[in-house]
Amino acid sequence: MAQHNNLGKQGEQAACEYLIAKGMTIRETNWRMAPLEIDIVAQQDGVLHIVEVKTRSTAMPQFDPMEAITPAKIRNLVRAANGYVGHYNLQMPVQFDVMIMIGTGPAFDIRFIPNAFQPPLSRRS
């Protein structure tokens, strides 16, 4: 496994541990609806949390990891979340969160951004 893939897996594991410590239940990790993927699906107080995890080995002052959450990434996360909700026939609100993990693991500097974005409105009439 490439080193960056290993770092990403460590970041996702640390993110799960953080969410569990905050009282969330982890429903799934790396849930796939080809070619889309959700890093973490968690649940707390009747809300489904779709969590995108961005892991970097070092903080880069000139680069905000939130810049990696592009409009295309948001569309794909929303599509995957719709697929997940439909697959399990869930009837609950969905929230999109982002976790920024900085470090080389197992200890990470964690930035949790709850409700990081809202799904774009559909253009269908």
Average pLDDT, the chain: 89
pLDDT (mean) for 49-62: 83
**pTM metric for this prediction:** 0.88
Residue 70, CA distances (Å) to 44, 67, 73, 74 in order: 26, 6, 5, 6
What phi and psi, each to the nearest 5 degrees, are found at residue 33?
A: -135, 90
Q: Tell me the per-residue pLDDT of 69-90, one tens digit each, with 9 for 90 and over.
A: 899 999 999 999 999 999 999 9
Spell out the domain ranges in the chain.
Answer: 3-117
Half-sphere exposure of 57 (CA within 13 A, CB side): 5
Amino acid 69: pLDDT = 87
Query: CATH classification of 3-117, choosing from 1.10.150.120, 3.40.50.300, 3.40.1350.10, 3.90.930.60?
Result: 3.40.1350.10
